[in-house]
Amino acid sequence: MRDMFEKGNIDENYIRVPKDELFSFIVRVLTKLGVPNADAEIVADNLVMADLRGIESHGVQRLKRYVDGILNEGINLHPDIRIVKEGPAYALIDGDEGMGQVVGYRAMKLAIEKAKESGVGIVAVRNSNHYGIAGYYALMAVEEDMIGISMTNSRPLVAPTSGIERFIGTNPIALAVPTKDKPFLLDMATSVVPIGKLEVYRRKGKPIPEGWAIDAEGNITTDVERVFNGGALLPLGGFGELFAGHKGYGLSLMVDILAGILSGGTWSKHVKNTSEKRSDVGHFFMAINTEAFLPLDEFKERMSEMIREIKSSKKHPDFEKIWIHGEKGFLTQETRLKLGIPIYRKVVDELNQIAEIVGVEKLRVGE
């Protein structure tokens, strides 16, 4: 059997949990809190996908934030998600403060339906909440053999280039594209890292790599507590310099413009945490029906050919191979479907505290 690939440094501090158990745990917590079963399953699917793909920052470790949001009444459990206006190829949605995943799922479905009819479907969303990984929605389009684009704004955590104040969001962008094999999936924050990665380091009590963030005075720091204590993340492409990062800064604003300004919602400076009332997160989705441009087979073949070419280009001797976006995630997913999803022990403890507070069965970890 060939070696199994897995992202991250998984050691004895992690416990493997089967995917189905993690999924049912999330559903039992959320439904006990009053989330309708179908909606709880969408949220669970999104969080489990993140953990399966090795995105620890946005997997089940985020459940606490959603639970806090529900307990603080910052999330509307029975939202009236409504189309404010629409045309054959576009729509504007008001999420009515629903769970971001539920609003996002409905909005992307609508974008896909419109792309089936019109070649392209664009849906802007206002008044939603944190929606988890951007790639989840982009991949929904790939399931229909379309190109998917997904973006969301988020609360201010990043300093603009030359600034030291938290002013813009980590505003992620995802692009998913069908190929002859596994999809291409670029799914990334527009800051060097999302805040969830700092949460992972904080839980492990480790310093963060230099170049990710600054402290309140604007000094580059590796001390995660200094970042949480008034510091800020740096925009993508900054290489640890305060005066670089202008490309990530621009991409973050692009997301705010499409998801926040265009939707009639708000932009990062004013976006709030999920646990607060009316966080007013905005999203932007696009589905592109490739068949409106090229026959599907030809499109996929061209994608696969481009990827083959890149992967067979000359590589540096220190590296095993040239990767394509999404590839590590899909391999990690294969491994975790077989071995179970590694969850950090402190996260398991936190999940079990949630189970106690809410009054549901704890996570079955098989130990």
Among 76, 128, 154, 274, binds ligand NDP (CB under 6 A): 154
Instruction: Identify the DSSP state of 158.
Output: B
Q: Pairing relation of β-strands 232-233 and 120-128?
A: unpaired
Report the residue number, 215 or 327, with the smaller CB distance to ligand NDP.
327
Q: Rounded to 5 degrees, what angle do the CA atoms 49, 53, 55 make?
A: 90
Q: Give me the least distance between CB of 54 and ligand NDP, in Å please.
A: 7
Residue 113: HSE in the Cβ half-sphere, 13 Å Cα cutoff: 12
Number of residues that bind ligand NDP (CB under 6 A): 30
Type of residue found at 315: K
DSSP state for residue 260 in the 8-state scheme:
I
Q: Going residue by residue from 290 to 319, which x/- string records binding to ligand NDP, judged by CB under 6 A?
A: ------------------------------
Binding flags for ligand NDP, 166-185, as an x/- string (CB under 6 A) = ----x-x-x----------x
First to last CA, the chain: 27
Q: How far is CA 174 from CA 137, 141, 147, 148, in A?
A: 8, 12, 11, 8
- State the nearest-atom distance from the C-beta of 292 to ligand NDP, in Å: 25
Please report whether residue 245 would count as binding ligand NDP according to CB under 6 A.
no
Cα angle 326, 298, 290 (rounded to 5 degrees) comes to 65
Per CB under 6 A, the list member of 15, 89, 186, 216 interacting with ligand NDP is 186
Using an 8 Å Cβ cutoff, are 179 and 199 in contact? no
Q: Identify which of residues 154 and 360 has a Cβ nearer to ligand NDP in the complex.
A: 154
- Encoded one letter per residue, x for contact with ligand NDP by CB under 6 A and - for no contact, window 118-137 reads ------------xxxxxx--
Distance, in Å, from the CA atom of 167 to the CA atom of 157, rounded to the nearest integer, reads 6
- Supply the DSSP string of 75-97, one letter for each residue: S-SS---EEEEEETTEEEEE-TT
Residues 24-63 that bind ligand NDP (CB under 6 A): 53, 55, 57-58
The interface mask with ligand NDP, positions 318-357, x = CB under 6 A, is -----xxxxxxx----------------------------
User: Which of 28/252 has CB closer to ligand NDP?
Assistant: 252
- Which stretches of the chain bind ligand NDP, using CB under 6 A? 53, 55, 57-58, 130-135, 152, 154, 170, 172, 174, 185-189, 193-194, 197, 323-329
